[in-house]
Amino acid sequence: MSRTVGGVDLTVLPQRTADELDAMRAAGRVVAQTLAAVRAAAAPGVKLRELDDLAKTTMYEAGATSSFLGYKPSWAPTAYNGVLCLSPNEVVVHGRPSGQRLKDGDLLSVDCGAVVDGWNGDAAFSVLVGERTSDEDARLVRATEEALAAGIAAAVPGATLLDVARAVDAVARRYGYAHLPDHGGHGIGRSMHEPPFVPNQPLAGLDRVRLHAGSTLAIEPMLLAGGGRYRHKKDGWAVVTADGRRAAHVEHTVAVTDDGPVVLTAA
The mark string for 104-123 relative to Co ion (x by CB under 5 A, - otherwise) is: ------------------x-
Question: Is 24 or 105 the residue whose CB approaches ligand MF3 more closely?
Answer: 24
Question: Is 72 or 174 the residue whose CB approaches Co ion more closely?
Answer: 72
- Are 216 and 24 contacting, i.e. CB atoms less than 8 angstroms apart? yes
Q: What is the 3-state secondary structure (H, E, C) of 33-66?
A: HHHHHHHHHCCCCCEHHHHHHHHHHHHHHCCCEE
Instruction: Figure out which of the listed residues 23, 27, 84, 218 binds Co ion, where binding follows CB under 5 A.
Output: 218
Question: What residues line the site for ligand MF3 (CB under 6 A)?
Answer: 1, 68, 71, 80, 85, 94, 111, 113, 122, 186
Q: Please give the span between the terminal C-alpha atoms of the chain, in angstroms, as a whole number.
A: 23
Question: Is 73 or 260 the residue whose CB approaches ligand MF3 more closely?
Answer: 73
Annotated binding-site ranges for substrate: 94, 193
- What is the C-alpha to C-alpha distance for residues 32 and 112, in angstroms, rounded to an integer? 9
- Residues that bind Co ion (rule: CB under 5 A) add up to a total of 2
239 binds, among Co ion, ligand MF3, none (CB under 5 to 8 A by kind): none
Beta bridge partners of 251: 124
Span from 43-51, 85-93, 202-210, 218-226 in contact with Co ion (CB under 5 A): 218-226
- Are 154 and 84 contacting, i.e. CB atoms less than 8 angstroms apart? no
Question: Is 133 or 201 the residue whose CB approaches ligand MF3 more closely?
Answer: 201
Q: How far is the CB of 36 from Co ion (least distance, A)?
A: 18
Q: What is the DSSP string of 145-182?
A: HHHHHHHHHT--TT-BHHHHHHHHHHHHHHHTPEE-TT
175 binds, among ligand MF3, Co ion, none (CB under 5 to 8 A by kind): none
Q: What is the dihedral of CA 192, 12, 204, 228, to 10 degrees?
A: -10
Question: Is 1 or 21 the residue whose CB approaches ligand MF3 more closely?
Answer: 1
Annotated binding-site ranges: 94, 111, 122, 186, 193, 220, 251
Footprint on residues 155-174 left by Co ion (CB under 5 A): none
Annotated binding-site ranges for a divalent metal cation: 111, 122, 186, 220, 251
Question: Is 118 or 236 the residue whose CB approaches ligand MF3 more closely?
Answer: 236
166 binds, among Co ion, ligand MF3, none (CB under 5 to 8 A by kind): none
- What is the C-alpha to C-alpha distance for residues 84 and 67, in angstroms, rounded to an integer? 9
180 binds, among Co ion, ligand MF3, none (CB under 5 to 8 A by kind): none
The mark string for 222-261 relative to Co ion (x by CB under 5 A, - otherwise) is: ----------------------------------------
Which residues of this chain interact with Co ion, rule CB under 5 A? 122, 218
